[in-house]
Amino acid sequence: MKILKKHVWFLIVVLLLPGVAPAGEIVDGIYRKKNFEGSRDRRYSVFLPEGSGAGVALPLVVVLHGCSQTHRDIMKVTRFNELAEAEKFIVVYPFVTSYDGLRNTNCWGYWIEDEIQEGSGEAADIAAIIMEVQDAYAIDPSRIHITGLSSGGAMATAVMVAYSEIIASGSPAAGIAYGETECAVKGVCFNFNLFKPSTWLYWWSPKFESTEETVQDMVTEMGADKRLVPLMVLHSTSDSKVDVTAARNNAEAWATLFQVDMSNPVASEVGETEGVTWQHHRYGSYGDGSAIETHFADGPGHAWVGGAQGDYAEPDGPDWAAIAWEFFKTHPMIVQ
């Protein structure tokens, strides 16, 4: 049974600050483990914009924290609540809460098979939390989107694959392709990133990098529910923890699986925000939008870009939350 503890954030101080949207309401929840393998009790927080109780079904954005963070940390550094208040959507922030095995603090288990498959572990718990939020609030089922940072970005990709039937679109940040091993993160296994095919004999030669294994893993997991979930990858070209190759591999695997031409972008844009240059490319088509997009920032490290100050955050640069939301807005689910 769900336990909710309400924190109504009227925050008069915030209302006095110019250019800051009025705060809505944050509701803390406790998700109770279900009867599938690897399910656990987990904490989460929901942000409700003002007026969300009016009976109008709103979009839902799922935001997953990275390693060494909590759900409240990612809430702060992304500033999704301010955006949700202005644009009127609901945000849920699941917290990994507890886990077994050897992990860095609060990492999602993106490299563990049982955690990234439908019907088991963390991916299944995240899907169940989404359903719990749907039961509690008016959510538009065609506009459920997911994002996350680092291990949260990798887990966002896993949920997009394992639960393609409920996720309209997704935007992993500083993440990793589906089914990659923990060695894809620099310093975990070696002092470099090792992507699939994970044969250590080939580590010195990029020509052996291939997304074929990733594509096959996605095909196997999606099964009969296989559908194109529009993807936008957010990454820094200077990320020294998760090389930008991870983002490119993720996009290329998606493109291979769903036959999206990435040799010729349908649109490209370059710019500079607060001293940070960036490149934004769009590929293929999905409804009125594109099937795959990449947004690469030059300069920031392994962090969420363009939000608030904090751990694993780079406030200067393009606003990744706003960029992800613009993508989500134009990518409601299309039943194929």
200 pLDDT tier (thresholds 50, 70, 90): very low
Task: Quote the pTM value.
Answer: 0.89
Model confidence at 187: pLDDT above 80: no
Rounded to whole angstroms, the Cα distance separating 15 from 24 reads: 11
Whether 113 has a pLDDT exceeding 90, the answer reads yes
Inform me whether the pLDDT recorded for 334 exceeds 70: yes
Pairing of strands 139-149, 58-64: parallel
> Which of 13-27, 161-175, 301-315 has the lowest average pLDDT?
13-27
Residue written as tokens 């060695």? 183
In the predicted structure, residue 194 carries a pLDDT above the cut 50: yes
Residue type (1 letter), 44:
Y
Average pLDDT over residues 230-250: 94
What is the mean pLDDT of the segment spanning 115-129?
98
- State the average pLDDT for the chain: 88
Mean pLDDT of 29-40: 97
**Element spanning 157, H or E:** helix 151-162
Q: Among residues 247, 187, 217, 36, which one has the least CA distance to residue 113?
A: 217
Q: Are strands 313-314 and 90-94 parallel, antiparallel or unpaired?
A: unpaired
Q: In what order do the strands lie in the sheet with 3-8?
A: 3-8, 25-31, 42-48, 90-94, 58-64, 139-149, 169-173, 231-236, 292-298, 276-283, 267-273
101-105, 282-286, 330-334: range with lowest mean pLDDT? 101-105
| Topology, domain 3-329 | Rossmann fold (3.40.50)
Q: What H or E segment, with its residue span, contains residue 334?
A: none
Between 15 and 121, residue with greater pLDDT: 121
Considering only CA atoms, which of 194, 156, 210, 199 is closest in space to residue 178?
156
Three-class DSSP category at 330: coil
Is the pLDDT at 85 greater than 80? The verdict is: yes
DSSP letter for 99, please. -
